[in-house]
Structure 1
Amino acid sequence: MRKLFFSALLACTVFQIFYAQNNIVGSWSGVLKIQQVQLPIVFNIQLQDNKLSATLDSPSQKAFGIKCDNVVFENNQLIISVNKLNAEYKGTLENDTIKGTFTQGIAIPLNLTKSTTVQAEPKRPQEPKPPFPYYTEEVKFINKTTGDTLAGTLTLPNKNAKCPIAILISGSGAQDRNEELLGHKPFLVIADYLARNGIGTLRYDDRGVGESKGNFHSATTFDFSTDAEAALNYLTTRKNIDVKHIGFIGHSEGGIIAPMVAARNSNVAFCVLLAGAGIRGDKLLLRQTNDISKAMETPDSIRMSEDQTNRKAFDIILNTKDIEKQKSELATLIRENVQKMAQDAAPEEVEKRQAAILKQLTSPWFQYFVKYDPAPTLSKVRCRVLALNGERDLQVSPKENLTAIRKALEAGGNKNFRIVELPGLNHLFQECQ
């Protein structure tokens, strides 16, 4: 009788969990209100093999199918993590509404309602599908500077091809070997195309991502350059590689990292800079923030206020060497700004926002990036360079960055380079309006 009772209780519990999970399955939409800007957000929650998964859509930003890393729904409490965006949503299901908070640096209220229409997953015709007419191999190599083991995929036209090879370096943020972003896998597409045209590639997970070991969050752009150099050193030991023709294809921050290695390692035969920066980090971020705010039609008063605050913050970072004094000055600036922009928020919410922003501004990566000027390093690069940027790139403005890259290469006496601005393309080299 006791066994029967517990079996019945277990069956009841399983049924309740199954019912609850099915109740959360579907598309849930809401609007993030950031000052006077409204940003629609959609979570698409699925249940497969009794496990929840989700993707995130940001329709106004033309971003669909962003993979969520962790989805938990227990006791009407929903938690969704999106590691690539350093974001998390926490909410409580009440009747037909999930009331919660979306946190990405700062915490913003976000209530979700279930959509009656299912949005079709965007088609990705450019994404290659097997069978592939080329050779792939899962590889691991060691960064001897840190001792970390990095993992990636080697793609060659055929197994014994002694071919040129490009190491693919991803942009900022924790990226996997495919540089998967907003539902796209650009490095997979590049590797496929190059292999079909006689060129090999090595693409690898960032440290601390996927199968690669190491601490991503404590690393700077320079630290990531030692990972790229470890990949280069590994390839020079392979017999089926043309070791005289190993180079880099770096996207965004990867376009900063590639010249770092090329300037100090003569084994680099070429660098392809895809939306790489040519100006100092603070100037890049100021222009980026301004361009994106304009594109989102942020009111001029808010945009100018944000710009003024950012300039003050960068000035503190650039000119205050004592880290404790810097933290104190930044904390004061952030407190004033958050209190002004979030007058209706609860005191504990204001404190959370302040702490999140201060943590970002004082992180090793941010401190290094704001101060780093790529020009002196670019002037030391002696290998061939191809620098490409999209005309409509809002993250790395094409004209001033391509001009700065050209000037730096010319200053160093490098004549083997080509600079191209591609019309109608964005930061991911996609056609856009």
Structure 2
Amino acid sequence: MSLGCTFQPDGQQQDSSQINNTTDEGVEDLSDIEGIWMGNLTVPGGLQLRIVFNISTNPDGSINASMDSPDQGVSGIPVDTVSYKEGILNLEVKSIGGSFEGVYKESSETIEGEWKQAGSTFPLILNRTEKIPEVQRPQNPVKPYPYTEEEVVYENKEAGIKLAGTLTLPQSEGPFPAVILITGSGQQNRDEEVFGHRPFLVLSDYLTRQGIAVLRVDDRGIGGSTGNFSQATTEDFAGDVLAGVEFLKNRPEINPDQIGLIGHSEGGLIAPMVAVKSPDIAFIVLMAAPGLTGEEILYMQSDLIARAEGVSNETIAQNRALLNRMFSVVKEEENNTIAEEKLREILRAELANLSEEEKANLGYSEAAIDSQVKELTSPWMRFFLTYDPRPTLMRVKCPVLAINGEKDLQVPPKENLRAIDEALRAGGNKDYSVKELPGLNHLFQTANTGSPTEYARIEETISPTALEVIGNWILEHTQKK
């Protein structure tokens, strides 16, 4: 549900100081291509991303090139090979499986061509620019912080993996109440970084300044954490959180009776699982958490996002029918080999009715089909599609705050908050609050439409209103009487 980055390799931001010299083949007048080039790339779903190539030459005639994606907060991605011959520029970016081919137009000083990645092709026109645009993220905290920040590593012994994170501690006298932040779906780092935003960095900074200790952690298999993310399910991630609870219980700065969880999106599925398994959880905060099965949410999500992008009712209905056929295969066919072949047949039959232009606009190709089929048959998706959070929510007895943005198109607020409310009430929970926050999207940014295409362009990372609601509620439930 949380979006991944199109260009960011392995979730890691590259450092431009580590770029190796690239090679040039058949170089003509390098002054044609030297400099900073920027273009807007429109990817499936209508999202526009600014792409920047930095091209320069060394005294020995070799070329240095790197790539930036400012809207994703990614810079210095190495360009491995550069070829410029007969006015045609070729760039290959192996780390993300991408390449660009374009023709230099002297009259307009543009390079007009195509970007290829994951079997899909997108038009891209590059224009010279004087400098790389800066992405404004004004809420990112600036050091020195008025609190202690510590890098930590601990084990999930049952899974045989190590988890790395950051623990922030208030400078006042402890022991402190504490929260563990739980990321949304997709492989995410401890800051839950997406499109240049670092929501968990902003949230942890805010809460720690309020006197609450915060542990935020890299997902297994990313950053400093070990383990195989691709073979893990939501239940496995719950085990990782339980390991974090054990770690906090053994820290003298932490009040063991006031350890809570904050889960965003899929993290909001995980938090109730952990609260039911562990008596040590004092409270949970659910941010845009699912209250329905994954299948129900994905249907609604697909419809709402398509509608926000101006897609016709007929196309929306066709897409819904396609999703239904694919999800049925995933649910009914346990054998992955058979399921994958059935899914390929469904997608190929669907694409046979489209023109080449329509296929290109959708970003579909054999490679894209293969990628989607693998995702649909992954252990995570098989679990997510059918998991119903309501029985677990009915067993949660600790205090719960469930919030969602009014304009969330990924986890629609009314249906999911209603389901959470009904489940907690049916289970007899005596202390819970359910709130829909006006004007906010899935990331809790102040938004116009709520479409994911807005996420990168919005400077705000998390609405101050959302931060205050979370912080005040936690303090109300942890302050000593």
Q: In the TM superposition, what is the alpha-carbon distance from 1:195 to its structure 2 partner?
A: 1.2
Q: Which amino acid aligns with 1:427?
A: H
Question: Kindly tell me: are residues 391 and 117 of structure 1, through their superposed partners in 2, closer, same or farther at Cα, counting changes over 3 Å?
Answer: farther
Query: Structure 1: how far apart are the matches of 2:227 and 2:32?
Result: 37
- Per the alignment, in what secondary structure is the counterpart of residue 217 of structure 1? helix
**Does residue 1:44 correspond to 2:59, yes or no?**
no
Asked if 2 retains the 8 angstrom alpha-carbon contact of 1:29 and 1:40, the reply is no
- Per the alignment, in what secondary structure is the counterpart of residue 198 of structure 1? coil
Runs of 4+ with deviation above 6 angstroms:
19-22, 47-51
- Per the alignment, in what secondary structure is the counterpart of residue 352 of structure 2? helix
Query: Structure 2: how far apart are the matches of 1:53 and 1:385?
Result: 47
Query: Structure 2: how far apart are the matches of 1:271 and 1:53?
Result: 43
Query: Structure 1: how far apart are the matches of 2:273 and 2:57?
Result: 46
- Pick aligned residue for 1:289 from 298, 302, 309: 302
Query: Structure 2: how far apart are the matches of 1:259 and 1:328?
Result: 36
TM (norm. structure 1) is 0.85
Q: In the TM superposition, what is the alpha-carbon distance from 1:101 to its structure 2 partner?
A: 3.8
Query: Structure 1: how far apart are the matches of 2:276 and 2:57?
Result: 51
**Does residue 1:89 correspond to 2:98, yes or no?**
yes
Q: In the TM superposition, what is the alpha-carbon distance from 1:118 to its structure 2 partner?
A: 5.2
Greater RCO (Cα-Cα under 8 Å, separation 6 or more): 2
Equivalent in the alignment of 2:9: none
Query: Structure 2: how far apart are the matches of 1:21 and 1:423?
Result: 52
Q: In the TM superposition, what is the alpha-carbon distance from 1:350 to its structure 2 partner?
A: 3.8
Query: How much identity, in percent, do the aligned residues show?
Result: 38
Which string of whole-angstrom CA distances, capped at 9 and with x for unpartnered residues, describes residues 380-406 of structure 1?
111111000000011110000000111
Equivalent in the alignment of 1:4: none
Query: Structure 1: how far apart are the matches of 2:31 and 2:410?
Result: 39
Where structure 1 has 5 or more consecutive residues not aligned to the other structure, the ranges are 1-10, 58-63
Q: How does 1:5-404 map to 2 (within 5 A)?
A: 23=33, 25-32=35-42, 34=44, 39-46=47-54, 53-56=66-69, 64-67=71-74, 70-76=77-83, 77-80=90-93, 88-95=97-104, 96-97=110-111, 99-103=113-117, 107-116=120-129, 120-158=133-171, 161-343=174-356, 350-404=365-419
Q: Which amino acid aligns with 1:71?
A: P
Question: Kindly tell me: are residues 222 and 23 of structure 1, through their superposed partners in 2, closer, same or farther at Cα, counting changes over 3 Å?
Answer: farther
Question: Kindly tell me: are residues 359 and 72 of structure 1, through their superposed partners in 2, closer, same or farther at Cα, counting changes over 3 Å?
Answer: same
Where structure 2 has 5 or more consecutive residues not aligned to the other structure, the ranges are 1-20, 59-63, 84-89, 105-109, 449-481
Asked if 1 retains the 8 angstrom alpha-carbon contact of 2:35 and 2:128, the reply is no
Instruction: Report the aligned-residue RMSD.
Output: 3.0
Query: Structure 1: how far apart are the matches of 2:72 and 2:371?
Result: 26
Query: Structure 1: how far apart are the matches of 2:208 and 2:57?
Result: 36
Q: Which amino acid aligns with 2:52?
A: N
Query: Structure 2: how far apart are the matches of 1:29 and 1:55?
Result: 11
Q: In the TM superposition, what is the alpha-carbon distance from 1:179 to its structure 2 partner?
A: 1.0
- Per the alignment, in what secondary structure is the counterpart of residue 138 of structure 2? coil
- Per the alignment, in what secondary structure is the counterpart of residue 124 of structure 1? coil
Q: Which amino acid aligns with 1:28?
A: M
Q: In the TM superposition, what is the alpha-carbon distance from 1:311 to its structure 2 partner?
A: 1.3
Asked if 2 retains the 8 angstrom alpha-carbon contact of 1:69 and 1:81, the reply is no
Asked if 2 retains the 8 angstrom alpha-carbon contact of 1:165 and 1:202, the reply is yes
The answer to which of 286-295 and 318-327 deviates more is 318-327
Q: How does 1:413-432 map to 2 (within 5 A)?
A: 413-432=428-447
Query: Structure 1: how far apart are the matches of 2:208 and 2:322?
Result: 47
